Structure 1
Amino acid sequence: MKDDNKIKWGIIGLGNIANQFATDLLLLQDAALFAVASRDHNKAIEFAKKYNCAKSYDSYQALFLDDQIDIIYIATPHDSHAELSIKALENGKHVLCEKPLSLSTKDAMRMIEASRKHNKFFMEAFWTRFIPSVKEVLEKVNQGVIGDIKSIKADFAFYADEKQGGRLFDKNLGGGALFDIGVYPLFLSYLLLGMPKEIMAKSICNKNGIDLQTSMILHYENAQSILHASIVSESDMKATISGTKGHIQLNSPWYIADGYSVSKNNKEETFSLPNSGIGYTHEAIECHNCIRNNQIESKLWSHQNSLDLSKIVQDIKNQIGVNFS
């Protein structure tokens, strides 16, 4: 961190998510988007101009070597997360890496080990964990407001045109429903119930071996989660957490909910909790807090949390027969 007390960010991978993140970063007074990098230098230049960013690079390595950058946000396709995160950490940078961390638990562990070795903050960019609605719902569940959880129902689905191609349908980039959006409902189940005792999953795949839609049941000792992810259909994208005394429903789209409702004793109470900006500000604030407190991981979404989720995703990947190698 430099003399002006602002945390200086660099961004690698300048697609849609990076644009949304950069938009939210402008809302934080103690943050500065300082440099961006793309192999397409014109793209980097345009991105930098759009967000009043001081520097643009035509190589990732150049950004890694910029000693004015405190933390790098990695928003490239899934297949490159591991290597880029490790290189950034090796060059003394803190790292916020887009979900999923990697395409294998082995690589996720390598990333975490690099964070520990170089004593730099590292976090998976699971923005949903930090939005006000999810934090408050977790508190209510832990307080027993709806009793013991017995079931969770959650999905994430949208229609993408396979004929148009793109990274979603590119096996080399880790495409498919599971890794791109299936991690969200899996995250919610893990956050509320922990590691399952058993996982059952079935997919419909295209001819290239990409899962177009995947349905999952996570079985716990006294509860079950019924989860779904699809890139070939629409849904209402609500999430329902049902307990012995009532149920909670996160507003649609639940992964970035601006509120929720609690239903019990034939009464419903609604709660409005708007997000700051698009919603990425909350995870950026967590990064800042951790860096300022010399923490290499978040207590809200720790290295172990990311590793556990990676193990769940890998189990499902093996069951549905998706192979990225």
Structure 2
Amino acid sequence: MQKNKTIKWGIIGLGNIAHKFANELQLVNGAELVAFASRSKENAETFANMYHCAKAYDSYEAIMKDDTVDILYIATPHNSHAELSLLALENNKHVLCEKPIALNYPDAEKMIAASKKHNKFFMEAFWTRFNPSFKATFENVKKGEIGQIHYINADFAFSAKGKNRNRLFDLKLGGGSLMDIGVYPLFLAYTLLGIPEKIHAQSIFHPSGVDAQTAMILQYSDAQAILYSGICHTSNMKATISGSEGRINIDTIWHMAESYTVVKNNTETKYSLPTNGMGYTYEIEECHQCIQNNMIESQLWSHQNSLDLIKIVDEVKKQIGLDFPV
């Protein structure tokens, strides 16, 4: 694709996150929102009117046939990520798919293979990887600012009580804390320490069958990560990375933080890195850069990164006994 050319987006799956993403698209130079798709014509038209978008489709298949759409953002429930991503790639669309990439490793493999087969950009939407505070934290760790990492602690929990009919409590839709938000702490540990040698996980389950809360310990040769997710209560939502020479605290809410603190030699140094919008803008810009450079994957969050992470998630699922209906 020609560099600096406007990249035209379509959005599939019109829930709360689609609203956020549509707003963020308007903050990115070279991005144009041209189409929405929902199984409800009324919902699609409501979004289109709200964001001054000309096209509203009442089927996902229809938007994929629209030749004006360069890339599709897939924001549907987790159980349809694989199916819709494959269909989009087969229709020669680039794809940004919400996390988790899929409900299991085999489906993720198929999605990556389709990206390669059709030579189309595909990325799992782990927007935290492109957050300025996280990128700075990662670089500080990489250059040895806090020495060798020995311990990571990260939690992510919020209360969704009273919303038992929504997707978070629906096993068929891939609900529960692990798939929706537990992937964030796992992402942090994986990005900084890689694939663990051992995983220990336990959960408490909701009557609907989804995990209401999950605790995980990732064991490495010289480090441990203690991670947690929950959807029936709140938590501090902070992250700490402790090394032999100091530690880094990523402030609340850590996966979208605008600041972090380095604690070293009894001195605390706080760094502020305000985001443009909520922070989705950075993953959008990454998509643009990759597409304009004819790349089918990001170097910051690659196909292999997504495969590694879903393999870790699969092991956690196995240990806690979480099984999604096919």
Structure 2 length as normaliser, TM-score?
0.98
Match of 2:179 in 1: 179
* Residues 14-62 of structure 1 deviation map (CA, whole Å, 9 limit, x = unaligned): 1001110110000112000000100111110110111111211011111
Task: Please tell me the residue identity of whatever aligns with 2:244.
Answer: T
- TM-superposed CA distance for 1:144, in Å, is 0.4
What are the residue-to-residue correspondences of 1:52-71 with 2, within 5 Å? 52-71=52-71
Match of 1:237 in 2: 237
Match of 2:271 in 1: 271
CA–CA separation in structure 1 for the residues paired with 2:251 and 2:65: 43
Task: Please tell me the residue identity of whatever aligns with 2:292.
Answer: R
- TM-superposed CA distance for 1:12, in Å, is 0.1
Match of 1:117 in 2: 117
Give 3-state SS (helix, strand or coil) of 1:216's partner: strand
Match of 1:143 in 2: 143
- TM-superposed CA distance for 1:165, in Å, is 2.1
What are the residue-to-residue correspondences of 1:221-232 with 2, within 5 Å? 221-232=221-232
- TM-superposed CA distance for 1:233, in Å, is 1.2
CA–CA separation in structure 2 for the residues paired with 1:3 and 1:267: 45
CA–CA separation in structure 2 for the residues paired with 1:54 and 1:249: 44
Gaps of 5+ in 2: none
Aligned residues: CA RMSD:
1.2
- TM-superposed CA distance for 1:162, in Å, is 4.8
Gaps of 5+ in 1: none
CA–CA separation in structure 1 for the residues paired with 2:109 and 2:177: 23
| 1:262–1:270 CA contact under 8 A, matched in 2 | yes
Give 3-state SS (helix, strand or coil) of 2:155's partner: strand
Match of 1:191 in 2: 191
Check 1:51–1:223 CA distance in 2 against 1; reply closer, same or farther (3 A cut).
same
Equivalent residue pairs, number: 325
Match of 2:36 in 1: 36
| 1:248–1:261 CA contact under 8 A, matched in 2 | yes
* Displacement over 6 Å in runs of 4+: none
Match of 1:87 in 2: 87
| 1:162–1:169 CA contact under 8 A, matched in 2 | no
Give 3-state SS (helix, strand or coil) of 1:248's partner: strand
Task: Please tell me the residue identity of whatever aligns with 2:90.
Answer: E
Match of 2:46 in 1: 46
State whether structure 2 residue 113 is matched by structure 1 residue 128. no
Task: Please tell me the residue identity of whatever aligns with 1:174.
Answer: G
CA–CA separation in structure 1 for the residues paired with 2:192 and 2:322: 27
CA–CA separation in structure 1 for the residues paired with 2:217 and 2:172: 27
Select between 246-255 and 48-57 the one with higher mean Cα deviation: 48-57
CA–CA separation in structure 2 for the residues paired with 1:77 and 1:181: 13
* Residues 75-108 of structure 1 deviation map (CA, whole Å, 9 limit, x = unaligned): 0000000000000000000000000011010000
- TM-superposed CA distance for 1:154, in Å, is 0.1
Give 3-state SS (helix, strand or coil) of 1:322's partner: coil
| 2:3–2:292 CA contact under 8 A, matched in 1 | no
CA–CA separation in structure 2 for the residues paired with 1:217 and 1:3: 44
- TM-superposed CA distance for 1:164, in Å, is 3.7
Give 3-state SS (helix, strand or coil) of 1:101's partner: coil
Give 3-state SS (helix, strand or coil) of 1:236's partner: coil
CA–CA separation in structure 1 for the residues paired with 2:195 and 2:237: 23
- TM-superposed CA distance for 1:3, in Å, is 11
* Residues 151-206 of structure 1 deviation map (CA, whole Å, 9 limit, x = unaligned): 00001000111554210000000000000000000000000000000000000002
What are the residue-to-residue correspondences of 1:12-31 with 2, within 5 Å? 12-31=12-31
Give 3-state SS (helix, strand or coil) of 2:156's partner: strand
Task: Please tell me the residue identity of whatever aligns with 2:214.
Answer: T
